[in-house]
Structure formats: C-alpha cells, structure tokens
Amino acid sequence: MCLLVDLATFNRWNVDLARAIEQLGTENFFPLLFAALREQVTLVYPQVWLYHRDLPPRILQHDIPNDARAMQIDRYLEGPYREDPFYQVSMSSPRSHIYRLSRLAAGRLEEMDYFQNYYEETGTVDEVIFLTRLADGSVINLCMMRLPSQGEFASDEYDLLYALAEPVAALIQSHCHRDDFVVENLLQPGLDHQIDTAFRTFGSDYVSDREREVLELMLRGYGTDTSAERLDISLETVRRHRKSIYKKLDVNSQADLFALFINSMPYIGDASGGDPLRVYMN
C-alpha cells in the first residue's frame, strides 16, 4: 500500500497526537483522540465501546448529539449488538487493528438481519473501527461513522486510517492499562466464574420473579422479540416488564442498566448468592 501524506497533515497529526498522549489515563484522552482523528478525515458519532464475551457492552466515551443517542446507544444495547459484525469479529480472535463494516459484510450488508433490524435506521452509510484487545479478554472498539451527505469513506481516507491504526491501538492499550481504568472497567481476577450467578441474581431483591426473568435476558443481550419468544409471553408484556424494571431500578436506559450491573459485579462475593445490587446500593 502506497500512501502519500503532505507535510502539513503529518505535522498536524503529530501535534494532535501529542496532546492526546499527555492525557493518557485521564477522561480527556478519548475526546482529544476524537479531535485528532477529525482533523484527518470527516467523521460523525465517534464512540468507544468496551466488549467482553461474558458481559454486556459498555459505552466508555462518545460524541453523539442528543437526538441520535437513543438509536446509537440505547437501541443498540437492546439486542442488535449481538448481530453487529464488529462485535462478532471482536469476540472471535481479531487479527487486525482496523475493520470496515462493508468489508466485514462482504458486500451483503443490506441482506443482513443486523442491517434490516437496526443499522438501516441509524441514518449512517459507512463505519470504520479501531480495535484493541486487552489483557483480560476485553476488546476496545473506537467507532467512526459517515452520514449520507458525507458519503462512504473514500479509499484514500481508509488507507490513511489504516496507517494510523497501529499507533492508535497502542495508545488505547496504554490508556487502558492505567490503574484507574482497570479498577473501574475491567474484570477483576476471580470474578469470571461468578458472572452467570450475577446474571441470575442481579436486581432480584427489587423486581418480581417474572421481571427478574426479563431482566436476565436483557442483561444477556436478548431483544424484546427474543425475550417474548423465550418466555412465551407477548411483546407488549415484555415491554411493560422492561418499563417497570427501569422504574424499580431507577435507570432511564439500557446503557444505565448495564452500567449499574457492571458496577455491582465486585459485590457478588459479598452477596453470598443473593442480589449483588442490594450490597452495592447499601
């Protein structure tokens, strides 16, 4: 691959990247990295996701306007993420630090359930991710999208992002190894085998038995349709249970629910088979 970058562009990247490096381990790191990438290519809705095979996805950082958040975050977390080609490649030994949605879909994106059930409604036409694997088995995805008015990423733009993928992945790796990030976001030793217990017990002290069944399926990433089928109840009943769960657990979205679940994980042992949320809240 031959890529020509003018000196001004190269210098701007170095300056912007230096600013991001200075903020490694702080809450300013990802916003500065977004800004650096925006100086190189046109992009919208930059967002950083933390994926783990056994836990719900977690949104770590984003720059998404209010009118797009419900679709980009909450709707995504209601189940479509399981069908996301980026999520699937992240969970299956990825070999690259960069992927493009159209290439993963092999030209069949519009035929995929993911497109028909979700992506078509996002209002975007292209997406590229930087992918970074972490020591605990988690994967960080930094996503960049394009609107119809902007068109798909051109070949030279993708080539530029390809050239940047290695240093960006190394920076994200370094940022995510900082102690504060590890404590707040990554699985701690000894928790892995207790995750299934957490799925079954989380929130059980606050919701009804049927709501607990719906809640477990929500946490495991199953959408409304699949939950209704598995529990042999109507879609409207599932929606009613979900609304009640949100109210009882004092959350406003799927993202809030998942964050609460993950925050309660360190208290599984203290709960002794009971609800870790009760211990966390107290």
Grade residue 190 by pLDDT with cuts at 50, 70 and 90.
low
Asked whether residue 159 falls in the same domain as residue 25, the answer is: yes
Grade residue 4 by pLDDT with cuts at 50, 70 and 90.
low
CA distances from 184 to 25, 160, 178, 219 (A): 12, 33, 10, 19
Does the structure show a pLDDT above 90 at 185? no
What is the reported pLDDT for 265?
Answer: 84
pLDDT tens per residue across span 7-35: 788 889 999 999 999 999 899 999 999 99
Q: Which of 48-57, 91-100, 102-111, 143-152 has the highest mean pLDDT?
A: 143-152
What is the reported pLDDT for 99?
Answer: 97
Q: Which two tokens stand for residue 240?
A: 């009613």
Asked whether residue 119 falls in the same domain as residue 249, the answer is: no
Q: Which DSSP category does 24 fall into? A: T
Q: 267: which residues sit within 8 A by CB, 6+ positions away?
A: 276, 279, 280
- The domain that contains 61 carries what CATH number? 3.30.450.80
- The type of residue at 47 is Q
Asked whether residue 145 falls in the same domain as residue 165, the answer is: yes
Q: Which of 123, 119, 93 is nearest to 108 (CA)?
A: 119
What is the reported pLDDT for 160?
Answer: 93
| Boundary (domain end) residue, out of 185, 211, 235 | 185
Asked whether residue 49 falls in the same domain as residue 178, the answer is: yes
Overall number of domains in the chain? 2
pLDDT tens per residue across span 56-98: 899 999 999 999 999 999 999 988 999 999 999 999 988 899 9
CA distances from 50 to 95, 119, 134, 184 (A): 18, 19, 10, 12
Grade residue 189 by pLDDT with cuts at 50, 70 and 90.
low
Asked whether residue 64 falls in the same domain as residue 198, the answer is: no
Q: Which of 200, 205, 234 is nearest to 220 (CA)?
A: 200
Q: Which two tokens stand for residue 212?
A: 């607990």
What is the reported pLDDT for 8?
Answer: 80
Identify whether 66 is part of a domain: yes
d(CA 51, CA 185): 10
d(CA 56, CA 265): 12
Does the structure show a pLDDT above 60 at 3? no
Long-range contact list for 44-48, CB < 8 A, 24+ apart? 44/124, 44/144, 44/145, 44/146, 44/147, 44/150, 45/72, 45/124, 45/143, 45/144, 45/145, 46/142, 46/143, 46/144, 46/145, 47/72, 47/73, 47/142, 47/143, 48/140, 48/141, 48/142, 48/143
> Structural domain of residue 206, as residue ranges?
192-281
| Boundary (domain end) residue, out of 185, 207, 229 | 185
Q: Which DSSP category does 71 fall into? A: I
Helix residue spans in 151-234 (DSSP H):
155-176, 179-185, 195-201, 209-219, 224-231
Bridge-based pairing state of the strands 98-100 and 126-133: antiparallel
What is the reported pLDDT for 181?
Answer: 78
Q: 229: which residues sit within 8 A by CB, 6+ positions away?
A: none
Does the structure show a pLDDT above 50 at 1? no
Asked whether residue 170 falls in the same domain as residue 196, the answer is: no
Q: 282: which residues sit within 8 A by CB, 6+ positions away?
A: none
Asked whether residue 151 falls in the same domain as residue 196, the answer is: no
Identify whether 2 is part of a domain: no
Average pLDDT, the chain: 90
